[in-house]
Structure 1
Amino acid sequence: MRSRVEEFAEIRRAARVEGLSINALAKRFRVHRRTIRQALASAEPPPRKTPTRAAPKLDAVRELIDGMLRQDIDAPRKQRQTATRIWHRLLDEHDADVGYPTVRDYVRWRRPEILGITAMSKAMVPQAHAPGAEAEVDFGELWVILAGVRTKCFMFAFRLSHSGRAVHRVYPTQALEAFLEGHIDAFEEFGGVPTLQIKYDNLSPAVTQVLAGRARVETTRWALFRSHYGFDAFYCEPGINGAHEKGGIEGEVGRFRRTWLSPMPVVDSLAELNERIRNWDQRDENRRIGRKITTVAHDFQTDREHLAALPRDRFDPGLELYPRVDRSALVTVRQAKYSVPVRFIGRKLRVSLRASELVVFDGRQVVARHERVIERYGQAVLLDHYLEVLQHKPGALGGSTALAYARASGAFTGLHDAFWAESRKVNGDAAGTRELIDVLLLHRTLPDYAVLAGIHAALTVGAVTADVVAVEARLAAGAENTDIAVVEVETLPKVVSLTQRRLTDPAAVIAGLPPDTRPAPSVAGYDALLTRRAAKHAATAPISEGVSGA
């Protein structure tokens, strides 16, 4: 089938070559004379007129739809009425006889006219960013299967505007400590600080009040942090009007979440997740952004050369608090409890609450360090903090919360349990538990693998005492390639130690010991020596004079 352009070309050729009239051309090509005149006037066919179709059902509700769309002029962006909602309102409130496709098509082109959304407002102007000069920061929500529990977290994203190189970190909160820690990680990852400015939303960790224009009232700690690292903050306009001012980071948060964090990551801790994210950030360096012919890694080299140097001292991002240690050797911070050594009960200690951890200080000395507790009313308890009091109260160990947490974390292993069971069997409950506590104290000065090696050796020879474990642990600490497997009680060899036999009641029967056939000890030989010595002494003694009764 010929197109209209081809038909017009044949008409014009016939008129030019054969000199046919309009009537003759109309008869040959079987078209109207008006079409012949159009072809002779222009080689390009005129556009076809779209007939105006009557829409009686739409005409009946057109004003109603326009009124509903005008209600959205002042409404929040995320609460504007959809075409489906408008259609349901027409059916419920006005009993209209109109189909959903009719309403949907009308709303699609009518909404931009009413809301003033024009091509001008949606247009984007390409931007050029100097190397090392600018960056953008934002937070994004994220769901993680954390230790088997679906948990809501927050992803901090820092993006250099020139190269697009980004750093991502996941934190349990988006409070000021996470905000600062994310910046520090990004600065240290990049090896410098942007020289011109960093763009932000009006995030509550940084801004306490939004003033006219771009003026803001900043939090004191945020202002101190900016002064320490020497950069300026650029605050975008509030709401949707300022989204385009940092469009790079807005798209980066969604891109990274779709690329690497879907489906929901399954991890045991946020530290494990952030370690994965570091690897993913490095893999992203090989990608190209948009139509650039260079990779992110290539452009980042230029960025790095122009960044300002890091300050000499690292800023402490933690929130400083001073809680009091309760009778259970716990401090309460943000509705969560953390253990400290029992010697600090009743004292106030300085706590640095950071995004991913909590550090407790006594003066300048670190006395406790915990991963930050995410859940409300949760606890972080270390068995090591209670060992001194357990030496005086060994019966409290079995049901203690500290032991339960140590077992759950893997710090208290099957080897510890095996040693404890054998020690109580041989030494009794209280003395056997104290031997275990002395073994646990060895972890403070020796590597974990060495202590486990010492426990394994002690169990092998049946000498379930802390002294034997200590000797064997020090030997293992000096050896290489020590490989210790967890040993269950049932798999341990029988007790054959003569040392342990001496430490126990001779009447007790220790499984596996051979019978002792040696004769019982006797002092008869020593008695004969004493008799001879007494006779010799009597023979040499002088005779007494003046004996009474002579």
Structure 2
Amino acid sequence: MGNSQSKVELYAAIRRDHRMGMSLRALQRTHNVTWRTVRRALDGQWPEPRKKQRRKESRLDPYKPLIDGMLRADLDAPPKQRHTAQRIYDRLVEGHEADDISYSMVRVYVKDCRKEIRRQAGVGPDAMFVPQTHLPGAEAEVDFGDVHVMLAGKMTKVYLFSMRLSYSGKAVHRVFASCGQEAFFEGHVHAFRVLGGIPRGRIRYDNLRAAVERVLGLSRARVENDRWTAFRSHWGVDAFYCRPGIEGAHEKGGVEGQIGYYRRNHFVPVPEVASLTELNAMVDQWDLDDEGRRLRSRTRTIGEYFAQEQPLLRPLPREVFETGRWFTPRVNRFAQVTVRCNSYSVPVRFIGRQLRVLLHANDLVVYDGRTVVAHHERLSGRGESRLVLDHYLEALLRKPGAFPGATALEQAKAAGKFTPVHEAWWAAARAAHGEAAGTRALIEVLLLGRHMEHEHVVAGLAAAHRAGALTADAVALEARKAAEGETFTEPVKPAPGRAIQPQGETGGTVTFMSDWKLSHLPPDNRPLPSVAHYDQLLKRHGRTAGEKEGS
């Protein structure tokens, strides 16, 4: 069709140029055609449509009647005992010696032929869709879709929550580590806050386990989860549950297509992020950018339609609904609590105690009363552990021999918290003070991280290592200097007997804490002390002695 249309335009251009006085040879050169084409155009003839090429014969042609017969026999067979493409291929090879065909040839033919045979028999009618009209602010659709991202250097499967307004097409997305009930609730709360309201009509859902416990037959009735019932009652959500299977997907085709569009346009190529927080910040920006596009043949953008729809949404409730789930585990002897088959560390002082844990979709918070004692990123697998080295430092001070093989140390290295600078300083400290004392010195340095920034402690370690200062107070001083941005052109001289010999190529000078404090005292302008007043006593004492000698 495209080639035929281009020839029609070519003939029209030739005739137009000829009417303008262009010669036949000039027409050939201008349009890069032969004289026969020019002659046909000027004679009033139009290009003939291209003839359809004759279909080439296939090696499968002799076996197609046999395949059709097997598929027609399947019309009366039980659903789970019908021919697959593989079974048809095997029967042709075994029973009809069809060694000259391949499985792929059979599979392609069966895929198209099965639909046609079922349609002719009236079993599988063609899909029929009824156009729908959506009122502003009335309806929305919700669904989850799985995507893959490069999370902290590892290919990870995450879940994309999507809520789409049916009228404007405005969609809000959120990425979670799982598609459980916590993610389901938090996705709703985030979407309602971004949209600035709640649809006044119904919201369409799949039969997700986060909301539905049981589907009652072929009807629309569902047994809902109690927490979901409380949640949607709080937010005023009118839920409409689609039919199970592919038929139900057509009932919320807007959000199904939206997730596909979002995955193809924003997750290709695969994003590389350090955390889900960073990824969700990108998702929020993508949602804003998508407001500028137009859907199908609409004359206005999504953002313009949403501006018309947003004032018609129901306002948000003032009360807060806690989307997380509470647990009360007991801390085991490894200073860990177990939640949803995964372990998380807490400070060792809580061993044996029962704490409260609030589990969210992407994180987990541990409370002692109302005080937060630990905060972890949620694990999505089973049987995994997330340990923080800082939680074990008090115990490691008493047991420095357990430090080198600690699981928390390995996780700190993997997360980049225990850097090569730590390793170098630790090795030097062990060489200078011995295994136990050198490890204790490192643990004292790690304790500085509770009231100093990690970057400043690392800078202090590097400066102390260059100067060969292998004590925690020297690292603390250098870290404080890094935090305050201080530079010393004339280093303070150390006290007698405390001079440090530089090590390494770069060398350096380190001031001890006591010397640094003395150097920062204000100048003393008071006069020097005098003992002149005591000379009177000496003179008086001398005269008394002389008098005694004279007598």
The TM-score with structure 1 as length reference comes to 0.70
Q: Does 1:154 align with 2:155?
A: no
1:364-383 matched pairs, under 5 angstroms:
364-383=370-389
1:189 to 191, 194, 202: 194
Q: Counterpart of 1:228?
A: 234
Provide Cα deviations, 1:452-475, integer angstroms capped at 9, x if missing partner.
343344445544433343344344
Q: Counterpart of 1:111?
A: 118
2:426 to 415, 420, 430: 420
RMSD value, Cα:
3.7
TM-superposed deviation, 1:490: 7.8
Q: Counterpart of 2:15?
A: none
**In terms of mean alpha carbon deviation, does 213-222 or 306-315 score higher?**
306-315
Please tell me the residue identity of whatever aligns with 1:91. Answer: L
Aligned residues: 438
Q: Counterpart of 1:297?
A: 303
TM-superposed deviation, 1:311: 3.0
Q: Which runs of 4+ in 1 moved over 6 A?
A: 55-61, 96-99, 101-105
Q: Counterpart of 1:394?
A: 400
Provide Cα deviations, 1:508-529, integer angstroms capped at 9, x if missing partner.
xxxxxxxxxxxxxxxxxxxxxx
1:236-247 matched pairs, under 5 angstroms:
236-247=242-253
Which SS does the other structure have where 2:133 is aligned? coil
Which SS does the other structure have where 1:132 is aligned? coil
1:78-89 matched pairs, under 5 angstroms:
84=85, 87-88=88-89
The TM-score with structure 2 as length reference comes to 0.69
Q: Does 1:347 align with 2:348?
A: no
TM-superposed deviation, 1:500: 10
2:184 to 166, 175, 179: 179
Q: Residues 425 and 56 (structure 1 numbering): CA distance in 2 closer, same or farther, change over 3 Å?
A: closer
Structure 2 unaligned regions, length at least 5: 1-60, 488-501, 516-541
Provide Cα deviations, 1:162-185, integer angstroms capped at 9, x if missing partner.
221222333332221221122222
Structure 1 unaligned regions, length at least 5: 1-54, 482-488, 503-535, 543-550
Q: Does 1:124 align with 2:125?
A: no
Contact preservation (8 Å) 2:474, 2:510: no
Q: Does 1:319 align with 2:320?
A: no
Provide Cα deviations, 1:38-89, integer angstroms capped at 9, x if missing partner.
xxxxxxxxxxxxxxxxx998667755432224447x56xxx9866x457536
Counterpart CA distance in 2 for 1:158 and 1:308 is: 16
Instruction: Report the structure number with the largest CA radius of gyration.
Output: 1
Q: Residues 91 and 437 (structure 1 numbering): CA distance in 2 closer, same or farther, change over 3 Å?
A: same
Q: Residues 428 and 232 (structure 1 numbering): CA distance in 2 closer, same or farther, change over 3 Å?
A: same
Q: Residues 350 and 125 (structure 1 numbering): CA distance in 2 closer, same or farther, change over 3 Å?
A: same
Counterpart CA distance in 1 for 2:376 and 2:347 is: 13
Which SS does the other structure have where 1:360 is aligned? strand
Counterpart CA distance in 1 for 2:96 and 2:450 is: 79
Counterpart CA distance in 2 for 1:415 and 1:146 is: 25
Q: Counterpart of 1:279?
A: 285
Contact preservation (8 Å) 1:463, 1:500: no
Which SS does the other structure have where 2:121 is aligned? helix
Q: Residues 250 and 152 (structure 1 numbering): CA distance in 2 closer, same or farther, change over 3 Å?
A: same
Counterpart CA distance in 1 for 2:360 and 2:505 is: 44
Please tell me the residue identity of whatever aligns with 2:125. Answer: T
Q: Does 1:254 align with 2:260?
A: yes
Counterpart CA distance in 1 for 2:94 and 2:291 is: 55
Which SS does the other structure have where 1:440 is aligned? helix
Contact preservation (8 Å) 1:138, 1:249: yes
TM-superposed deviation, 1:144: 4.0
Counterpart CA distance in 1 for 2:294 and 2:504 is: 58
Contact preservation (8 Å) 2:153, 2:272: yes
Contact preservation (8 Å) 2:477, 2:513: no
TM-superposed deviation, 1:424: 3.7
Which SS does the other structure have where 2:357 is aligned? strand
Provide Cα deviations, 1:316-350, integer angstroms capped at 9, x if missing partner.
32222222211111122222221110011111211
Contact preservation (8 Å) 1:331, 1:339: yes
Contact preservation (8 Å) 1:462, 1:500: no
**In terms of mean alpha carbon deviation, does 88-97 or 352-361 score higher?**
88-97
